[in-house]
Amino acid sequence: MTASPPPPMPRSRRSAGDRRTQLVQIGLELLPTTPIQELTIDAVAARAGISRSLLFHYFATKREYYTAVTRAAAEFMLEHLLPPPGAPQEDQVPGMLDRYVGWVEAFRESHLAFVRGAGGGDPWVAEVYEETRQRLVEVALTALQLPDDAPRRQLVLAWFAFAEDLVGSWADEPTLTREELLALLRDVLDRLVLRGR
């Protein structure tokens, strides 16, 4: 069953950095198919062609490993979403929204795995997820030139939950055109955020 997929591997020696990134990379590859918590150390090690022990050399605990993987996934997504340096103010939020929808369309399963995994019991993973959301809110509020106070932050965070859910189900069953979806999301955000004005 769990036979030897990498048998001809002459078992080379790698630098510490290389191994770490290789292991995280493997985690990212496995993430779409496996709920991150159920990722077994054995499977990852086997796929990397190394012993279980070595993985524990790099990541003291299983949790430490998959939070590293989660963090890498989050970083990857953020890089994709954040507006490019020269983008004009008023295009930043629409741009991010557009790229977000594109992201979900492209990486549907992986993204779901990330979002789902976020809620999934483990506080460390949830924390990474929360950090990501917070950073996105900050960017959005500055782009909209709005003060970053607690009430507005709550609203925008909740709107994120709204957008995440809607885009997710829309990707499954597109009841709107892509443009209608984007317009709807923007509209709801505007109304929410301009409320106290």
Partner DNA sequence: CGGCTTGCTGAGCAACGCTCAACAAGCTAC
Partner DNA sequence: GTAGCTTGTTGAGCGTTGCTCAGCAAGCCG
> What separation in angstroms does the CA of 135 have from each of 7, 70, 175?
44, 16, 30
Q: Is 21 in the site for a second copy (CB under 8 A)?
A: no
Distance CA 37, CA 26 (A): 14
Interface with a second copy in residues 130-169 (CB under 8 A): 150-151, 154-155, 157-166, 169
Interface with a second copy in residues 40-69 (CB under 8 A): none
Closest CA to 117 of 171, 159, 73, 56: 73
Contacts of 33 (CB under 8 A, 6+ apart): 109
Closest CA to 36 of 78, 65, 79: 65
Q: Is 68 in the site for DNA (CB under 7 A)?
A: no
Interface with a second copy in residues 23-42 (CB under 8 A): 35-38
What is the closest distance, in whole angstroms, from the C-beta atom of residue 70 to DNA in the complex?
15
What is the closest distance, in whole angstroms, from the C-beta atom of residue 137 to a second copy in the complex?
12
Contact predicate 111/104, CB 8 Å: yes
Interacting residues toward DNA by CB under 7 A: 11-16, 19, 39-42, 49-54, 56-57, 60-63
Residues engaged in binding a second copy (CB under 8 A): 35-38, 115-122, 126, 150-151, 154-155, 157-166, 169-170, 173, 175-176, 184, 188, 191-192, 195
